C-alpha cells in the first residue's frame, strides 16, 4: 500500500484497538473458533470511510466475489496436484482483503470478515493448506488483530505485523521479505491475496490475486 494509505489504516486500527481494550475480552484470552453468523456476514455495511469515498458496498462485494470465483478453482486444482511432502500455503493481506475494514465504523470490533474470502480460506485450510496473514498493521495491535481474525472464523497458521525495524522499509519490501521467510520455513506459497500492488509485488508466490481498491480509495 502507499505510505499515506498505511498511515490512515494504522490510525483507524489503533483507535479501534483502544476501544476494543475496554469493550472486548483481553487479548490473552483464547478467541472462539468461529463467530456468530451476524459477526461473520452482514447484508450491508454499518458505515466507514469507504462510503465517504464513494465506494458502494454491494458493488465491492460483487467485485470481490469475482476474484474468489477465479481463485477457488485454481486452489482446488493446485492442492490436488500438490506432490507428496509439499507444504502448500496461502498468504493474505488483512484490511479490505480478509476483513471489511473500511466499510465499518472504526470502533467496530471485531471487524467482520469478508464472507466469500473467509469461506474460500477455510476450504483451503480444511485441505491442509497453511494460512498466513502478512499485514502492515503495527506490532502494538498484533494480539488484537489475531483475536479479530480468529473471532470471525479465519484459521491462522501465522500472523506477521510490522515491528519497529520494518517501519524503515517500504511496505512492498517488508511483505516480500515475510513471504520469503515463510518459504524458508519449508512452505510453498501457492497463492498471495491483497487489494494493493504493494501486497503482491516482489515474487515468492506462485500466483497472485488482486482484490479491488478502486485506485486507492480503499486502504
DSSP state of 102: G
Asked whether residue 86 is assigned to any structural domain, the reply reads yes
Asked if 110 and 39 touch (Cβ cutoff 8 Å), the reply is yes
E strands in 142-196 = 158-162, 188-194
In a domain, 38, yes or no: yes
The predicted-structure confidence for 179-199, as pLDDT tens digits, reads as follows 999 999 999 999 999 999 999
Element housing 64 (H / E): helix 57-80
DSSP letter at 33 equals: S
Domain that holds residue 204: 3-210
**76: how many CB neighbours lie within 10 A of its CB?**
14
* Residue whose cell numbers read 501457492: 190
Cell numbers of 76, please?
482446488
Number of domains into which the chain is organized: 1
* Domain of residue 166, CATH code: 3.40.50.1000
Per residue in 90-123, pLDDT tens? 999 999 999 999 999 999 999 999 999 999 999 9
Amino acid at each position: 500500500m502507499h505510505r499515506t494509505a498505511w498511515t490512515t489504516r494504522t490510525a483507524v486500527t489503533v483507535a479501534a484497538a483502544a476501544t476494543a481494550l475496554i469493550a472486548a475480552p483481553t487479548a490473552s484470552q483464547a478467541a472462539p473458533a468461529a463467530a456468530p453468523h451476524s459477526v461473520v456476514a452482514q447484508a450491508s455495511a454499518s458505515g466507514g470511510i469507504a462510503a465517504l469515498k464513494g465506494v458502494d458496498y454491494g458493488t465491492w462485494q460483487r467485485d470481490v466475489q469475482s476474484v474468489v470465483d477465479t481463485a477457488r478453482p485454481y486452489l482446488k486444482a493446485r492442492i490436488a496436484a500438490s506432490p507428496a511432502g509439499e507444504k502448500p500455503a496461502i498468504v493474505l493481506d488483512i484490511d479490505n482483503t480478509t476483513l471489511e475494514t473500511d466499510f465499518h465504523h472504526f470502533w467496530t470490533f471485531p471487524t467482520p470478515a469478508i464472507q466469500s474470502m473467509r469461506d474460500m480460506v477455510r476450504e483451503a485450510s480444511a485441505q491442509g493448506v497453511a494460512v498466513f496473514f502478512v499485514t502492515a498493521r503495527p506490532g502494538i495491535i498484533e494480539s488484537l488483530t489475531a483475536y479479530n481474525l480468529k473471532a470471525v472464523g479465519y484459521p491462522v497458521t501465522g500472523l506477521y505485523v510490522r515491528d519497529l525495524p520494518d517501519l524503515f522499509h517500504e511496505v512492498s519490501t517488508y511483505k516480500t521479505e515475510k513471504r520469503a521467510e515463510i518459504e524458508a520455513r519449508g512452505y510453498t506459497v501457492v497463492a498471495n491475496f491483497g487489494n494493493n500492488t504493494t501486497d503482491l509485488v516482489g515474487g515468492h508466490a506462485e500466483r497472485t490475486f488482486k482484490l479491488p481498491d478502486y485506485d486507492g480509495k480503499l486502504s
